[in-house]
Amino acid sequence: MPAIHMKGSVSILVVMLLSGCALLTPKEQVPTYYQCGASELSVLQKENGVLLSYGSQQEELPRAVSGSGARYSNDKEPLTQVWNKGNEADITWRGQEMPLCVEQGTLPKHFTARGNEPFWQVAVNPQHMALTTPESEAIIDLVAAEVVSEQPYEWRIESTTDKHLIVIDRLCRDSMSGRLYPYQVDLQESDRMYSGCGGDSEWLLQGATWELSEFEGHAIHSKPATIQFLKDSQLAGFNGCNRYFGNYNMGGELAQIRVTGSTKMACNGEANELSQEFRSVLERVYQVNIDDKGRLILSTRGGRQMTFKQQSE
């Protein structure tokens, strides 16, 4: 049998393979976006940790020891940390503990929803929902939520019965109390549908510093008044003259805001007048709203309003 010479063919094959390798690039990492109350943060996976972004600010965090989930931390003061637990994360940004962070496009693992006329209420966890009506109470097994639309996000949660939930990522105001909620929720039962609202009202306000942008005829200076709705119903901010603190309650039919103390710095006439008016209106707020531009509007029964925008990080 004659010898087969493949030197040229092998050379061509090697060149082709090398050329193909040159075209291959590592898979591009895509950040995971989290909604942490009123603020959005993103987490980008890196070789030895994560890159946490909040507004225009960034922090690189190495992996840290954790009993469960994946934790990344600078382990110093002020603490910045990400602790992933499924589709949720506990995030601390430069010493500020953020509200529950939920991966965009998913629902919190636990939430409640309710509706009126007729009254109904559900408490949802990953496996079950506890449904309460005036006639009955039931624990119903659930199937994992399915995304059926993305603009806005809409989820369908099936059950092992004829009842299921439709949850829409859209602000919802309770038809009786006027309270604002993050989700519109429909309870479907056979051919009937009951509409309501769901999620945590306080979560809508937390995680951001709200900066006063409009307040009747008052001039807004380079250092405007602010308000922060912190966890555990605590309140903090700047009234145009002094730092203040207090507490808030979004439960029931009326929003309640109470200032319990402040610093005692002396200010000029205009700043002093603003700080007094600011506190007076703040403690008379009965309704909270977020408009289609994402601005926070606090209103009194007498028709007075303060409008806030989110402070840039």
Listed residue (253, 254, 202) closest to 228, CA to CA: 202
Please report whether residue 8 resides in a domain: no
What letters, b where the CB count within 10 A reaches 16 and e where it falls short, cover 111-127? bbbbbeeeebbbebeee
What are the CB-based long-range contacts (under 8 Å, 24+) for 84-90?
Answer: 84/43, 89/34, 89/43
82 lies in some domain: yes
Which carries the bigger pLDDT value, residue 32 or residue 65?
32
Averaged over 265-284, what is the pLDDT? 91
Question: Does 4 fall in a domain?
Answer: no
Question: In the listed set 171, 202, 233, which residue is the last one of a domain according to the structure?
Answer: 202
Q: Flag whether pLDDT at 254 surpasses 80.
A: no
* pLDDT tens readout for residues 215-252: 988 878 778 999 999 988 999 999 999 999 999 998 76
Cis omega (within 30 of 0) for bond into 118: yes
User: Does 3 map to a domain?
Assistant: no
CATH of the domain at 67: 2.40.128
Place of tokens 């950040």: 31
> Which residue, 103, 134, 162, sits at the end of a domain?
103
> For residue 231, what are the domain limits?
208-310
Do 89 and 164 sit in the same domain of this protein?
no
